[in-house]
Amino acid sequence: MKKSRILGVGHYVPERIVTNNDLSKMMDTNDEWIVNRTGIQQRHWFTPGVDTVTSMSKNASELALKRAGVTTSEIDFIIFATVTPDYFIPGNGVLLQRELGMGTIGALDIRNACSGFIYALSIADQFIKTGMYKKILVVGAEIQSSALDVSDAGRSSAVIFADGAGAVVVGAVETNQPGILSTHLHAQGEYAEELYCKDPGSSREVRLSPELIVSGSFNLTMNGNAVFKHAVVRFIEVIKEALDANNLSKSAIDLLVPHQANLRISQYVQNKLELPDEKVFNNIMHMGNTTAATIPIALSEAWEQGRIKEGDLICLAAFGSGFTWASALLQW
């Protein structure tokens, strides 16, 4: 039996920075509201014709591979978490495989929105532990800005979501080495429509029509209050579940890297767990909420800033559309 370990992490965000003041020219909003309610000061949005989910994930993956000291030829499998793939069909994993020239290795797409990266990491962990694969590239990447309603009607979602990509290389190590200790995955489909993008759905006469476009059903729709209320409960639950499963107390955590949904959610979780500021990593202030990409982007920035050291106990936790929520506990 092997253990899996994150060998390297990288990220890439589009060059275009969109500030809160930029948003206030598109819709009825303002810097004060956005900062007070979400903590976000600016975010990155893609430039059509320049950035794609594939191009961003390629850049993030190349950095993760370089930092891991691993070449593309050593990777056995790709797991790609995104709800905003470049094509409706096929998924984005195959596009990244082609772009990186990775032969005919398998590529799997995960559609679990904000929890997608932890779901993907968990699958990588299982494949490695069984001995099926030795090195897996796990990616979270999104272009959310093209599905946002930037009119006044969509302002509560439009100010939150953003674009970017993060990637990790997960490799097999001996069981006495640091690595992934556990993952816990949950879902509750009764709340699917509280945060969703209805179209292009398949169960209607036509997937695309001028009427559907005008109806706004292609835009992301969110009941922010409901998401917030469930998120703060589930974050705590799933982190405690991870600690209990490993007989660890919350004080053992060296760094909590929560999905960057809203700074107020992260702060609530931090307070409940009584963690000092240096034990929680947030970058939503300059990154916004990049859905499946928030955790690998945050991990990459935390690593660059020296906030993660070898052997540290890192807790990842996420909550989002589905609803789905998840945690991963690992020693770096």
Nearer to ligand UT7, 53 or 295 (CB): 295
In the complex, the residues that contact ligand UT7 under the rule CB under 6 A are 29, 33, 37-38, 114, 155-156, 159-160, 195, 224-225, 227-228, 231, 261-262, 265, 289, 320
Tell me the DSSP string of 19-75: EHHHHHTTSS--HHHHHHHH---EEE---TTT--HHHHHHHHHHHHHHHHT--GGG-
CB of residue 293 to ligand UT7, shortest distance in Å: 11
CB of residue 224 to ligand UT7, shortest distance in Å: 3
Catalytic residue among 259, 262, 283, 315: 259
**What is the three-class DSSP state of 120?**
helix
CB of residue 142 to ligand UT7, shortest distance in Å: 11
Catalytic residue among 11, 20, 59, 114: 114
Single out the residue of 253, 280, 324, 226 nearest to residue 39, CA to CA.
280
Nearer to ligand UT7, 126 or 271 (CB): 271
Active site residue 259: yes
Active site residue 44: no
> CB-hemisphere CA count at 13 Å for 31?
8
CB of residue 8 to ligand UT7, shortest distance in Å: 26
CA separation for the pair 61, 9 (Å, rounded): 8
Catalytic residue among 92, 112, 262, 289: 289
Residue with CB nearest ligand UT7?
Answer: 224
Helices 263-272 and 224-245 cross at an angle (nearest 10°) of 40
What sign does the CA torsion over 119, 121, 123, 129 have? negative
Nearer to ligand UT7, 37 or 250 (CB): 37
Instruction: For residue 136, list its beta bridge partners.
Output: 77, 170
Nearer to ligand UT7, 53 or 220 (CB): 220
Nearer to ligand UT7, 68 or 280 (CB): 280
CA separation for the pair 62, 59 (Å, rounded): 5
Active site residue 315: no
Q: Where are the alpha helices (DSSP H) in the chain?
A: 20-24, 31-38, 53-68, 92-99, 116-129, 155-158, 210-215, 224-245, 263-272, 284-287, 294-304
CA separation for the pair 181, 5 (Å, rounded): 9
Single out the residue of 78, 66, 47 nearest to residue 145, CA to CA.
47
CB of residue 219 to ligand UT7, shortest distance in Å: 14
CB of residue 294 to ligand UT7, shortest distance in Å: 8
Residue 311 burial class via C-beta count within 10 angstroms: exposed 0-12, middle 13-18, buried 19 and up: exposed
Nearer to ligand UT7, 139 or 195 (CB): 195
Report the catalytic residues: 114, 259, 289
